[in-house]
Structure formats: C-alpha cells, structure tokens
C-alpha cells in the first residue's frame, strides 16, 4: 500500500511482514523508531507469533539474537553508531557461527567527540566482520532490502546488516509502497534452518577451533559471501518480477554510458548526486554514477564492468579510516587493481557527522576533479581556516588532549591571538 | 519543486507540521518529503523542519537552503537566528504573531518579497481558542494552503486527521480552517 | 525477615554424624534417595575423555548439575556455556564431551544467549524445553555481569549456574571479583605491603541475585553433591530466572593437591568461609548448618595461594580472614544451635 510515512515506520512494517520470531534490541545509543514500532506491533498482535525482548545493552541484544537464531528462530535486531561498537564482539560471533540474523543499521557517526548524526563510520567499523552489508538509497529500498535480506541471510546462513542512513532516511517522511502480507509471504517462505540447537538432536555448537581447522572455517565463511554475490542479483530480479521495483542487487548505474567521470557512492547521498548529475549533464559535463548497494560482499567484477571506459572515478565516502583514507575508495581501488588503463581514482570524504552534502558542493568538487585532480582525500566543505590555525599551533607547540576542545579554545581565543 | 522551511521551538510541533504538510501533498497525488533538522533539541530550543513537494520523485537529500516558503511558528526567533537565510526573491513568508510585520521589525524583509506573499496570522491565539493550547502548527498549515495554493484545505484537514484523532483532530481542523478563511479573505480584500 | 536460622531441608533422611567424613555412600541409602549420578540412567551429559585437570572441581560440579537438570527436565534441556575452562576442556575441536544440546557463544554473554534460546523455544511452542546457562566466576560475576543482571531483571526462564573457582583459572590464574582476600593470583602477587588480593574488595553475586527478587537463588558446594543435585532439581521446579552459585576448588589455581578438592570444598563450608544458603523471591529460606566447625587456617594452609600468610607468620591477615568467616557464620546463622535443627 502506498503511504506517506516515516522511514523508520515503513521499515518496521516491512520487518513485521517478514514474520520475525524473535526481536531483540537495545533502544538507545542511538536508535531509530524501528524497534519502538515493532514493539508496539508485537503488543497489538499486528505481528503475531513473535517474542519481543527488552535488553540491558547492545551486547545483550545481539547475544540474545545469537541464542534465538541458534535455536532456529527468525531473528531481527537494530542498532547504530556506538551501539554497534558495543556489540562488536557478538557481531563477529554471529557471522562466525553462521547465524542468519537480520540487523538494521541506522548509520551514524562514532565518537569522540560525541555526535549523533549521520555518516557511515559505524557500518565501516564492522565491514570485516563477515556480515553481508547492503545500503539503502531510499526508504522504499529500505523496505525492499529488508524483505530480500531475510531470504538472502537464510539462503547462505550468514547475518546481514541493512544499512539505512540515520536521520536522513530513518527520520524522513516520504512516499513508500509497503507490500501486503500475501506478497511478502509469496517471496519469503518460513525459515527452515538446517542445524539448530535442539534436545531432540543434541549437537554442540560453538566449539573452540584450533590452527588445524581455523583457516578452512574462515575460507568457507568467505565462500558463503561469494555465494551471496551470485544470489543477490538473482533475488533482485525475482523481487522485480514480484514487486515491480528495482531494489537491491549488487549495484546500479545512472547515466554511466559514455561518461568520462563516474561517481561511486553508497546510501541516500546517491539521490542528491543524481540531481547534480542531471544538472551537470545539461551543462554538457560528461558524468555518471554507480550506486553501490552490496558493500559486503564487494562486487569487484561488476564494478570493474561499470567503470570500464570512464577516465576518472570519484568515490564519495561517508566515512574514512583515519591514517589511511576512504574505505569505499580503497575498495574501489582494489577492484581496479591490475586493470589495463584503469581510470584515475579520486576520493572525496563528505557528510561526516551529519554535515549536509549539498548539490553546490558536489557540483564544485566534480568540476574540480576534472580540472585540478588531487591525490589522497578531499574533505568536502572542510573549514580550512580553523584547521590551518590549529595545525599551525600544533607545529609550534606540542598539543595533547582532546582535539575538539583544543579546537574550541583556538576558535574562541583566535580573534584575541591574531 | 516547492520547498518549505518551518522554524519554531521544541514543543510547538515543528516536525509534525512538516510531516502533515507532506501528507497533505501526498493525498493530492504529489511526491513529498518531510524531515526535521536533525539534533537533540529539547523543549523550547529553536527547531527547523523541512518539506519538499513536487510532481515527480524527490531524490534530493540536502537541507532546504533556498526555501520558496518560510513558516515562522515563533516570532521570538527573529532575535536568535537568521530565519530568512536563502529565501527566494519570489518566496512566501508566513509568521505566527498578533503584531504586524512592521511592529515585528520585518517591514524591510517583507518589502523584498512580492506583494501578497507575506502574511501574519495570530496562530497561537486561534489555536488557544479552538484547541485550548497555543499550538500553532496546524493553524499555520491552513494559512499556508490559502497563501500559496500549493495544497487544498481539505487535504490539510485530512492530514491533520491522520496525525491526530478525535476531538483534538477536529479542534485542529477548525483552527486551520479559521486561519485559511482569514488569509483567503485578506487576499480577496487585497 | 530472612530465615537463615532455618536449616535447609535435608537431602537425606539419615543422620550419620560420623566424625571425619560426611560422605554417605549411596549404598547406605534407599534407591529413591540416591544421587542422579548413582543411577545407571544418568545422562552422562559430560562424557569421559574431556581435558579437565585431575581433581577439577568444575568438571565434577558441572557433571552433577547438568545430569540433574537433564533428569529434572526429562532430557529436554539446552545448555548455553560461557567461554572458560569448562567450555575449553569439553570441546577440543572436532570432539565434544557434551551429550546434550549445547551452544557456546562468547565469554560474557551466556545469560543473554540463554534468554534468546528461551525466547525461540517459547515462540516455537516448545514449552517442555528448559534452558541452563553456565559459566565460571569470571564469565558470571565480571564480564558477563551485565547480561546476567539483565536476565535476572527480566525474569527470563533460564537457570544460570556459576561455577566459582575464585579466579580466571583458564588463562593463568588471574584475579576476578570472586577472588577472596589475601589469595595470590597472577595479578595479585604475594608481594608488597598487602600481599595477595586486597581486603575489602569483591562482591556477593548470590546476594545481588536475591536483590533482583528472582524465584530461586542458591549457594552450593561440590562438598555436598547430593545437596547440589537437590538444588538443581528444585530450581527446575520454578519458572523464571534462577541462580545457583557453586564453589568448585581448582587445584591449579589454588595450588592444592588434586586429591584435596572435595576436602577443601568441605573445609570452606565447615569453616564458614563459604556459607551455603538458599533463597526464594529475595528472601533467605534456610542455610546449611556447620556440623563440625574448623578454624579458617585449616582451610587456608592446604592452598599455595595463601602460602605467603604462613611463610612469614602473617597473624593480622589470618585474623582478618577468620573474622570474615565469623561474620558469615553470624550473618547466615551457620551454627546449629540447640532447638534450631
């Protein structure tokens, strides 16, 4: 049904339609309305045959999910930011144990300094944890990805994180088509686990594995994500057939044919970039976009295909590895390794900690990429003046302590000092 | 695309206003997008919300920096922040106050906008009368419908009934209707 | 308010006041009164071949706990294990000692995983399946404490058993919040002004468990395995969160002879160092009376972790340890006064 609804609520409704059996999440640090919505739906009976567990922490939340999934229940949780870090140990554990838990990550920054706003730092912090990670561009795609996520996770018996931009999508009210129960049932059969902890057939799960088999276990974990790489496009095709919507898949291209410059990005920023591309194309600027949906597994081959023929790539990262660079940029570089006449690779770090990513700034940086390409990271809309002042001060005096507070001191005393 | 920016204070229903407006547009078959200025605002703090209305899919996710319409739910904000930032030359201005624009010191700003594009509505007073609480958000949406013609009053009323229920919904609808009629009458008079 | 004055219900109707031993052979009691372990029908949930140390108190305790829980639930049991000695020595991949549905996730989350398994069973209509979560003192009183308290507070239908060997023995004997005062560990060395673990630290998780108002809390010891089995069976008679704290001597960590495991457990009880009591819904319902009181030094001198107290004749600290035991005896009314039995 087509409705005008908050992203968190439409996502919660989609999860409810997936008939989860156990939902366990910690409601803060920080959270969206998804879990609150689901809690209400379980209480009112809108979501039937489901246990909703309130827990004391994110670590407890995912741990309870591990228990319920190991016991064969379709299991769901949600978190973001600090919460994901607090459950980090269990994040790795869930994938190591091959448990098909579905998690919504309302992506947000990680402190310090404390910041509750959107970027992709949290998702990136767990990019090597063995989970599948898919990024929604719109709230419609969030709905659609969650429905696909349960199928996908259960097919390869691996957990999946559906990354939905915190605030920008989760708190936006927009038009979403929420499918009917019958439609979802036709796409998503009940969970039929192969191996569960059950007194009827007692097995031991989670034993210690030594050097003799650890490599093989990890190899096979990776193999499962390779399987997912094949399955994701198949599921997206089946989804399109049943729901008549292009949602999910490994990646999508937008006006990349004959484009000299191709932008690569994940999540909601793609919408703004598309508007910028239309404007720039109208001005005769040859530019296109690759929207990466599946970040883990990383679709290197498809990306190579999508980028073949362009002269430049500009990767717009919503986070970066400090001391290294944009994570997506590094992965795109990796995909282009050993490619003949690989495009020139440029990296933009944008929208950290909720800084708006505006059309004007994107337009400017794409133009600059053509005329004055740079090495390393370009921080979009960086306040050069404040940074330069602090850098200069650091060069004259050893600085210690929290950067944010040092910066504040500089900012506040700057006029006097100058 | 019509872009509306709403300024108010925490507790005045600033976010709900944008959401209701987007629902009203949706009910008319339009695409709409509403979102708050993201933060951890408490009651009384300045709050901003945004609403975009278009005939085609809205992909843009940046905050509204150049609004076509400004709705100011709290006139004390003029002293605190530059609410007029980026307003378009042919934009609309709607202010909740029982004073005139001149008394509010807004004569100069208003003069830059086309005639008939600025309006002061005593939304808090109207709300007090109908709802019993000075909640100006729904009232101003009624005024907005009259001033801009972007959405119909019937759609605004339907959106209010989606957001609230029972007596509160009807009181808000009555308040919005009064504001709609007041602004319409003034426009005719002008 | 509390009934520590009451003697806990006896597990055996016989009264053998033999000096020197409290071990009543199963052959002396009627079949109905015999332990689960004495039965040929025992489930052998932890079967032979595991890598536990000689004289391991935890292996013994866990064996009695799990088998008793199996019997109480008609084998409809799922065990959740925290990381630790018990987990490591029972599952040397690709082998397992567990003849029960068993799952291990992490060090600090056994209680929460138990919550999840219980939820899954409930949603699947498998009300006959019961959950036992277990871990060592580190996994329960330290790193897993948040999850444990959460499970208690929600009154989830999980029996949690803590096997308390008073330190992180699996990783080289480090201090935990269950390590007693003066005990030497790798992180509380017997050097400096206050050798061994610092006095005035640590916590009583059984008392904290009681403060959650959960249906059943008990302290037990491998010195009285009949009582341990009874408590597990009793715990399985309740629904909701339950907690049993079992003292399990560790020859490696305590520096004791492996043949002294049961002896040490008994001395801990008989000296008042380790008070045995049980509680329902936050109220103590009884305590196990000391039959043959011994001075604390009798318990301490068998363990190398306290050797520093004797080497230099540390009378003040020995005195303090005795006082702590005396306080337990008073608090839980551990002496069988006339008219109280």
> Where residue A409 falls among pLDDT bands split at 50, 70, 90?
low
**Are B33 and A173 inside 8 Å of each other by CB?**
yes
Task: Indicate which of C71, C83, C113 best probes the interface with A, i.e. most A CBs within 10 Å of its own CB.
Answer: C113
Q: What CA–CA distance (Å, rounded) separates B33 from B21?
A: 9
| CA of A120 vs chain B CAs: smallest distance (Å) | 16
Contacts (Cβ under 8 Å, ≥6 apart) of C203:
C141, C177
pLDDT of C338 > 60? The answer is no
pLDDT digits (tens, 9 = 90+) for A148-175: 999 999 999 999 999 999 999 999 999 9
Percent of chain A predicted with pLDDT > 90 = 89
* Residue-level pLDDT at C32: 76
Percent of chain C predicted with pLDDT > 90 = 83
Q: What does DSSP assign to residue B77?
A: G
- ipTM of the predicted structure? 0.94
Strand B46-54 versus strand B2-9 pairing type: antiparallel
* Residue-level pLDDT at A410: 62
> Where residue C24 falls among pLDDT bands split at 50, 70, 90?
low
> Where residue C19 falls among pLDDT bands split at 50, 70, 90?
very low
pLDDT of C339 > 50? The answer is no
3-class state of residue C149 by DSSP: helix
pLDDT of A279 > 60? The answer is yes
The separation between CA C267 and the C-alpha centre of its own chain, rounded to angstroms, equals 15
Nearest-CA residue of chain C relative to A208?
C93
- Name the interface residues of A facing B (CB cutoff 8 Å): 3-4, 6, 116-118, 167-168, 171-175, 268-272, 274-275, 354, 356-359
* Residue-level pLDDT at A110: 96
pLDDT of A418 > 50? The answer is no
Identity of the residue in B23, B36, B40 whose CB atom sits nearest the CB atom of A4: B23
Q: Is the pair A, C in contact (3+ CB pairs within 8 Å)?
A: yes
pLDDT digits (tens, 9 = 90+) for B16-68: 999 999 999 999 999 999 999 877 667 888 999 999 999 999 999 999 999 99
pLDDT of A392 > 80? The answer is yes
| CA of A270 vs chain B CAs: smallest distance (Å) | 8
**SS3 track for chain A:** CEEEEEHHHHHHHHHHHCCCCEEEECCCCCCCCHHHHHHHHHHHCCCCCCEEEECCCHHHHHHHHHHHHHCCCCEEEEECHHHHHHCHHHHHHHHHCCCCCEEEEEECCCCCCCCCCCCCHHHHHCCCCCCEEEECCCHHHHHHHHHHHHHHHHHHCCCEEEEEECCCCCCCEEEEECCCHHHHHHHCCCCCCCCCCCCCCCCEECCECCCCCHHHHHHHHHHHHHHHHHHHHHHHHHHHHHHCCCCCCCEEEECCCCCCEEEEECCCHHHHHHHHHHHHHHCCCCEEEEEECEEECCCHHHHHHHHCCCCEEEEEECCCECCCECHHHHHHHHHCCCCCCCCEEEEEECCHHHCCCCHHHHHHHHHHHHHCCCCCEEECCCCHHHHHHHHHHHHHCCCCCCHHHHHHHHHHHHHHHC
pLDDT digits (tens, 9 = 90+) for C204-220: 999 999 999 999 999 99
Percent of chain A predicted with pLDDT > 70 = 97
**Are A173 and B65 inside 8 Å of each other by CB?**
no
* Residue-level pLDDT at A68: 98
Contacts (Cβ under 8 Å, ≥6 apart) of C5:
C287, C333, C340
Identity of the residue in C101, C149, C154 whose CB atom sits nearest the CB atom of A203: C101
Superfamily of domain C26-331: Thiamin diphosphate (ThDP)-binding fold, Pyr/PP domains (3.40.50.970)
Count CB-CB contacts under 10 A for residue B146.
Answer: 23
Q: Using alpha carbons only, what angle is made at residue A307 by residues A304 and A313, rounded to the nearest 5 degrees?
A: 120
Tokens 């009627």, located at residue: C30
> Where residue C36 falls among pLDDT bands split at 50, 70, 90?
confident
* Residue-level pLDDT at C340: 41
All structural domains of chain B: 2-189 (3.40.920.10)
Q: Give chain B's mean pLDDT.
A: 94
Contacts of C88 in chain A (CB under 8 A): 208
- Number of A–C residue contacts, CB under 8 Å: 163
Q: Contact, C152 vs C245, CB < 8 A? A: no
pLDDT of A85 > 50? The answer is yes
**Are A4 and B63 inside 8 Å of each other by CB?**
no
Neighbouring C-alpha atoms within 13 Å toward the C-beta of B7: 24
**Are A73 and C124 inside 8 Å of each other by CB?**
yes
pLDDT digits (tens, 9 = 90+) for C242-263: 999 999 999 999 999 999 999 9
Identity of the residue in C104, C112, C116 whose CB atom sits nearest the CB atom of A22: C116
Q: Tell me the helices (H) and strands (E) count for chain C, helix number first.
A: 12, 8
Q: Give chain C's mean pLDDT.
A: 92
Contacts of A271 in chain B (CB under 8 A): 58-61
* Residue-level pLDDT at C12: 63
> Where residue C30 falls among pLDDT bands split at 50, 70, 90?
confident
Q: What CA–CA distance (Å, rounded) separates A198 from C151?
A: 21
pLDDT of A235 > 70? The answer is yes
**Are A6 and B19 inside 8 Å of each other by CB?**
yes
pLDDT of B76 > 60? The answer is yes
**Are A60 and C101 inside 8 Å of each other by CB?**
no
Q: Which of A147, A150, A141 is nearest to A99 (CA)?
A: A150
All structural domains of chain A: 2-243 (3.40.50.970), 251-379 (3.40.50.920), 384-417 (no CATH)
Burial state string for B72-90 with b = 16 or more CB within 10 A and e = fewer than 16: bbbbebbeeeebbeebeee
pLDDT digits (tens, 9 = 90+) for C142-184: 999 999 999 999 999 999 999 999 999 999 999 999 999 999 9
> Where residue C189 falls among pLDDT bands split at 50, 70, 90?
very high
Task: Indicate which of A173, A254, A381 best probes the interface with B, i.e. most B CBs within 10 Å of its own CB.
Answer: A173
Tokens 């036709």, located at residue: A186
Residues 59-78 on B with a CB inside 8 Å of A are 59-63, 65
pLDDT digits (tens, 9 = 90+) for A104-135: 999 999 999 999 999 999 999 999 999 999 99
**Are A272 and B59 inside 8 Å of each other by CB?**
yes
Nearest-CA residue of chain C relative to A52?
C119
* Residue-level pLDDT at C40: 84
Cis, peptide link before residue C94, omega less than 30° from 0:
yes
- Please indicate if any CB of chain A lies within 8 Å of the CB of B31: yes
* Residue-level pLDDT at A415: 45
| Domain parsing of chain C, residue ranges | 26-331
* Residue-level pLDDT at C341: 37
Chain B contact partners (≥3 CB pairs within 8 A): A
| CA of C48 vs chain A CAs: smallest distance (Å) | 16
Which range, A201-210, B74-83, C136-145, is most confident? C136-145
Q: Contact, A139 vs A1, CB < 8 A? A: no
C221 or C10: which carries more pLDDT confidence?
Answer: C221
C242, containing H or E segment? strand C242-247
Tokens 């703090």, located at residue: B45
Q: Which structure tokens are listed for A396?
A: 């004259």
């Amino acid at each position: 049904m087509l409705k005008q609804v908050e992203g968190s609520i439409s996502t919660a409704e989609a999860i409810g339609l997936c008939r989860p059996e156990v939902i366990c999440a910690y409601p803060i640090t920080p959270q969206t309305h998804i879990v609150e919505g689901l809690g209400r739906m379980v209480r009112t009976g809108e979501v039937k045959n489901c246990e909703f567990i309130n827990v004391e922490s994110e670590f407890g939340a995912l741990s309870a999910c591990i228990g319920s999934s190991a016991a064969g229940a379709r299991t769901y949780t949600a978190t973001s930011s600090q919460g994901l870090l607090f459950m980090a140990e269990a994040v790795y554990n869930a994938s190591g144990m091959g448990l098909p838990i579905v998690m919504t990550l309302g992506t947000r920054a990680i402190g310090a300094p404390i910041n509750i706003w959107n970027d992709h730092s949290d998702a990136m912090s767990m990019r090597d944890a063995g989970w599948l990670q898919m990024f929604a561009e719109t709230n419609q795609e969030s709905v659609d990805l969650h429905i696909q996520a349960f199928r996908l996770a259960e097919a390869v018996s691996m957990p999946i994180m559906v990354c939905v931009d915190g605030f920008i999508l989760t708190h936006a009210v927009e038009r979403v088509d929420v499918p009917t129960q019958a439609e979802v049932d036709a796409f998503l059969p009940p969970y039929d686990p192969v191996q569960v902890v059950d007194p009827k057939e007692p097995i031991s799960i989670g034993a210690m594995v030594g050097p003799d088999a650890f490599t093989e276990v990890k190899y096979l974990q990776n193999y499962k994500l390779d399987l997912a790489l094949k399955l994701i496009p198949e599921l997206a095709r089946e989804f399109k057939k049943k729901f008549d919507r292009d949602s999910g898949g490994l990646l999508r291209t937008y006006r990349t044919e004959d484009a000299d410059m191709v932008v690569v990005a994940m999540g909601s920023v793609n919408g703004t970039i598309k508007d910028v591309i239309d404007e720039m194309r109208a001005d005769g600027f040859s530019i296109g976009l690759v929207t990466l949906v599946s970040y883990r597994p990383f679709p290197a081959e498809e990306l190579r295909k999508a980028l073949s023929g362009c002269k430049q790539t500009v990767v717009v990262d919503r986070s970066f590895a400090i001391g290294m660079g944009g994570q997506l940029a590094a992965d795109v570089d990796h995909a282009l390794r050993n490619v003949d006449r690989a495009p020139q690779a440029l990296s933009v770090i944008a929208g950290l900690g909720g800084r708006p990513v505006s059309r004007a700034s994107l337009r400017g940086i794409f133009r600059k990429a053509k005329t004055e390409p740079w090495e390393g990271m370009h921080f979009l809309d960086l306040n050069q003046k404040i940074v330069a002042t602090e850098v200069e001060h650091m060069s004259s005096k050893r600085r210690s302590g929290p950067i944010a507070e040092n910066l504040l001191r500089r900012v506040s005393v700057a006029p006097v000092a100058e | 695309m019509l872009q509306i920016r709403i300024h108010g204070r925490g507790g005045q229903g600033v976010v709900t206003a944008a959401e209701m407006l987007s629902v009203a547009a949706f009910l008319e078959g339009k695409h709409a997008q509403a979102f708050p200025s993201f933060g951890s605002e408490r009651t009384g703090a300045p709050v901003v919300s945004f609403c975009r209305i278009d005939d085609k899919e809205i992909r843009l996710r940046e905050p509204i920096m150049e609004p076509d319409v400004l709705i100011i739910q709290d006139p004390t904000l003029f002293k605190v922040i530059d609410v007029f930032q980026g307003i378009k030359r042919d934009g609309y201005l709607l202010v909740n106050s029982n004073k005139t624009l001149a008394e509010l010191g807004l004569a100069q700003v208003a003069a830059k906008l086309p005639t008939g594009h600025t309006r002061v509505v005593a939304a808090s007073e109207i709300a007090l009368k109908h709802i019993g609480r000075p909640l100006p958000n729904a009232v101003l949406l009624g005024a907005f419908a009259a001033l801009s013609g972007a959405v119909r009053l019937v759609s605004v009323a339907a959106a209010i009934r989606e957001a609230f229920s029972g007596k509160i919904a009807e009181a808000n609808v009555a308040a919005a209707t009064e504001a709609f009629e007041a602004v319409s009458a003034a426009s005719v008079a002008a | 308010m509390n009934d520590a004055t009451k003697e806990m219900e006896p597990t055996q109707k016989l009264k053998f006041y033999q000096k020197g031993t409290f071990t009543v052979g199963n052959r002396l009691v009627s079949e109905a009164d015999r332990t689960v372990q004495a039965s040929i029908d025992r489930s052998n949930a932890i079967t032979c071949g595991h890598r536990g140390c000689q004289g391991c108190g935890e292996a013994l305790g866990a064996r009695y706990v799990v088998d008793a829980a199996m019997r109480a639930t008609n084998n409809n049991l799922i065990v959740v294990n925290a990381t630790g000695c018990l987990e490591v020595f029972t599952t040397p991949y690709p082998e397992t000692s567990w003849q029960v549905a068993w799952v291990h996730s992490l060090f600090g989350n056994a209680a929460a995983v138990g919550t999840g398994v219980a939820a899954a069973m409930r949603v699947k209509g498998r009300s006959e399946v019961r959950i036992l979560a277990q871990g060592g003192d580190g996994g329960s009183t330290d790193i897993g404490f948040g999850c444990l308290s959460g499970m208690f507070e929600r009154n989830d239908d999980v029996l949690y058993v803590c096997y308390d060997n008073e330190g992180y023995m699996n990783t080289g004997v480090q201090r935990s919040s269950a390590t007693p005062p003066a005990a030497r560990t790798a992180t509380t060395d017997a050097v400096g002004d206050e050798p061994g673990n610092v006095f005035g630290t640590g916590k009583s998780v059984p008392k904290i468990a009681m403060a959650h108002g959960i249906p059943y809390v008990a302290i037990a010891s491998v010195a009285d395995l009949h009582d341990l089995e009874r408590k597990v069976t009793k715990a399985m008679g309740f629904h909701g969160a339950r907690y049993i704290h079992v003292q399990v001597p560790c020859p490696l960590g305590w520096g004791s002879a492996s043949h002294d495991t049961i002896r040490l457990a008994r001395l801990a009880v008989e000296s008042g160092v380790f008070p045995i009591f049980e509680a329902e819904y936050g109220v103590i319902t009884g305590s196990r009376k000391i039959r043959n009181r011994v001075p604390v030094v009798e318990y301490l001198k068998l363990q190398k972790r306290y050797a520093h107290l004797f080497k230099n004749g540390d009378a003040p600290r020995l005195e303090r340890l005795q006082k702590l035991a005396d306080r337990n005896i008073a608090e839980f009314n551990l002496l069988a006064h006339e008219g109280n039995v």
